[in-house]
Every structure is written in structure tokens, then in C-alpha cells.
């Protein structure tokens, strides 16, 4: 009995030390990368966003595990001279918050983005969605077509995938209790240990910038709340996709997709070429490169977005 109690005490102390380590790391991260931009509260979610430039509006939405600093490698500056560029951190991402487990499903997040567009008084902006942000942009266009002038999607998730991409497999935790336990114990040290391998897959074959941890906001993922939110986004992401796929032919907005041919996260054929079946007029562009196009291929991405803005039409819906 004494031995069992001793083992239990050691385990408890080990878990407590991991939780303390996670808490200290979170404070250090937030000190190193303080919030930027503005905040607006919508449906009990506090949304952090940047609003730069003037002219026709572009709303940019990041992918899984990211936040608005993922667009911080010159893309905003290249567009803000001619357009009003608004970059948001999705609910639960970066410094945006959401209460409990809602809204995590794509259509629920899409409802919130539509309300965000209305709150800012934007006149049918171009939605630029990267990766999971592409699926979210599609959800907004399907459910709130009156809010969207067009879509410019960057390496988007458009169809269900049988298994999460390798860097995200550890996030597939469906139990809220287990998700929380992992977030406050193993997640922070394991994320640090796997950093280089994760970035190699996420960016490859392109090279990840040396300063992505700070300038790109990568360190923010080390916080337990970021792990929990990203895990919930992952397990919730495919609930709405099958029905969305069936509705893609109903899209009336102009849609463009830019994909890296060598993307190691999402296959351009399954998520780009496949969209041509539903949308024959889709502007699909395939370029050499990996998944993180807004970071690694800024010039090509900016040109793609400018082209989308030039071709924007606002048909009666």
C-alpha cells in the first residue's frame, strides 16, 4: 500500500510539474507576442482582427492551428495599398476567444464570420481563406451568399479527408476531458520537441522562415488553450463538409483556388482539381510549392488575390 501511494504521489507531482510548465510557457509566449489590432464581441466570442488600408474589402481567414499573424510576411502590405485588408483570428485561435465548445463546426464559425462582416459594415468582400479557412470561407458563401462577393482560396480544405495530415494527428482527441488533460501535460513539451519535424511537413518542400515562431505567431500554439481549440476545430471540421460538398454547384460567386503542387498537407487534386467538377468556371492555379503559400509564396499569392479582386462581380443573389 505504501508503495502504491508513493507511485501515485510521484505521478501526481509529475503531472503538476507539467501543468506548471505549460502555464509558465503560456505566460512567456503571450509576453513575447502580445495581441495586435482590435477586438469585437459577437455572440459571446471576442474576435481579434487587423484592419489596414482602404478601398474594396478583403477578409482573410487562417487555417488550423494558426492565427492572423500567419499573413504577416508581406501579404497584407502588398494588398493594403489598393484594398481594405481585414485579417481575423478565428474563434479560439490566437487572441480570439469562444465560450466552451461553441462555435467549432464550420457552419457555426461561418455564421459568426457573416455577423463579423455585417458588424464592420463591409459590402460583400472577397474572402481569402487558407487551408481550414478555405472550408470556412466556403461555408460563409453557401449559407450567407449575400455577404460574399467572391472567394480566393489558398490551399483550401474542400472535401473530407479520411485521416488528419501527419502534423495534426495528435490533435484528434474527441473527449473534452482527455483533450484538457493532454493540453496541460504533454502537449507543450511534445510540441516543442516536434517543432522542426512539424514545420518541415507544414512548409515543405519550402523552407520555414527562421522567425516564424514570433513573426508568424507560431509560439502561440504552445498555450494549452490553443491546443484545446485546435483539437476541437479538427474533430469538428468534417461534420459539415459532406453536405457542403453537395451544395458546391449552387455557388454563384466567382471562386479561385491557388494550390502548391508539392503540398504535404492537402492534395491539390483532391481539394483543387476535384472542385472543377462542381464548379467548371473555377479559376484553379497550381504552382510549385508547399502548403504555407501566404508565407512562402507571397508574390504569387498577392497576384492571385489581385486577380480575384479584378474579376469580382456582384451578381444579384
pLDDT single digits (tens) 239-275:
999 999 999 999 999 999 999 999 999 999 999 999 9
Convert the pLDDT of each residue in 74-108 to its tens digit. 999 999 999 999 999 999 999 999 987 677 899 99
What was the pLDDT predicted at 316? 43
Distance, in Å, from the CA atom of 270 to the CA atom of 281, rounded to the nearest integer, reads 17
What was the pLDDT predicted at 206? 97
* Residue 317 scores a pLDDT above 50: no
Mean pLDDT of all residues in 198-202:
96
Convert the pLDDT of each residue in 288-314 to its tens digit. 999 999 999 999 999 999 999 998 854
What was the pLDDT predicted at 14? 57
Q: What rounded mean pLDDT belongs to the chain?
A: 92
Which residues are CB-neighbours of 252 under 8 A, at least 6 positions away? Answer: 145, 315, 317
Convert the pLDDT of each residue in 94-150 to its tens digit. 999 998 767 789 999 999 999 999 999 999 999 999 999 999 999 999 999 999 999
CATH 3.40.50.1820 fits 5-310, yes or no: yes
pTM of the model: 0.93
Amino acid at each position: 500500500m505504501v508503495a502504491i501511494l508513493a507511485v501515485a504521489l510521484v505521478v501526481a507531482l509529475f503531472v503538476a510539474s507539467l501543468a506548471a510548465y505549460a502555464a509558465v510557457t503560456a505566460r512567456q509566449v503571450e509576453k513575447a507576442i502580445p495581441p495586435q489590432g482590435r477586438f469585437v464581441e459577437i455572440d459571446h466570442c471576442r474576435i481579434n482582427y487587423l484592419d489596414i488600408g482602404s478601398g474594396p474589402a478583403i477578409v482573410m481567414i487562417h487555417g488550423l492551428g494558426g492565427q492572423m499573424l500567419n499573413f504577416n510576411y508581406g501579404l497584407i502590405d502588398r494588398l493594403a495599398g489598393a484594398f481594405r485588408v481585414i485579417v481575423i483570428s478565428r474563434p479560439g485561435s490566437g487572441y480570439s476567444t469562444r465560450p466552451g465548445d461553441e462555435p467549432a463546426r464550420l457552419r457555426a464559425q461561418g455564421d459568426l464570420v457573416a455577423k463579423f462582416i455585417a458588424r464592420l459594415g463591409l459590402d460583400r468582400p472577397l474572402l481569402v481563406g487558407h487551408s481550414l479557412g478555405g472550408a470556412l470561407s466556403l461555408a460563409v458563401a453557401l449559407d450567407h451568399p449575400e455577404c460574399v462577393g467572391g472567394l480566393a482560396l489558398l490551399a483550401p480544405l474542400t472535401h473530407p479527408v479520411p485521416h488528419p495530415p501527419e502534423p495534426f494527428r495528435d490533435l484528434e482527441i474527441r473527449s473534452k476531458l482527455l483533450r484538457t488533460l493532454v493540453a496541460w501535460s504533454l502537449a507543450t513539451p511534445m510540441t516543442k520537441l516536434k517543432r522542426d519535424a512539424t514545420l518541415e511537413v507544414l512548409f515543405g518542400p519550402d523552407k520555414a522562415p527562421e522567425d516564424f515562431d514570433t513573426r508568424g505567431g507560431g509560439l502561440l500554439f504552445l498555450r494549452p488553450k490553443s491546443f484545446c481549440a485546435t483539437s476541437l476545430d479538427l474533430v469538428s471540421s468534417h461534420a459539415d463538409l459532406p453536405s457542403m460538398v453537395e451544395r458546391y454547384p449552387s455557388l454563384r460567386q466567382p471562386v479561385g483556388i491557388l494550390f502548391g503542387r508539392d503540398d504535404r498537407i492537402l492534395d491539390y487534386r483532391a481539394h483543387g482539381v476535384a472542385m472543377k467538377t462542381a464548379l467548371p468556371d473555377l479559376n484553379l492555379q497550381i504552382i510549385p510549392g508547399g502548403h504555407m503559400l501566404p508565407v512562402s509564396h507571397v508574390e504569387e499569392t498577392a497576384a492571385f488575390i489581385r486577380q480575384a479582386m479584378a474579376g469580382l462581380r456582384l451578381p444579384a443573389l
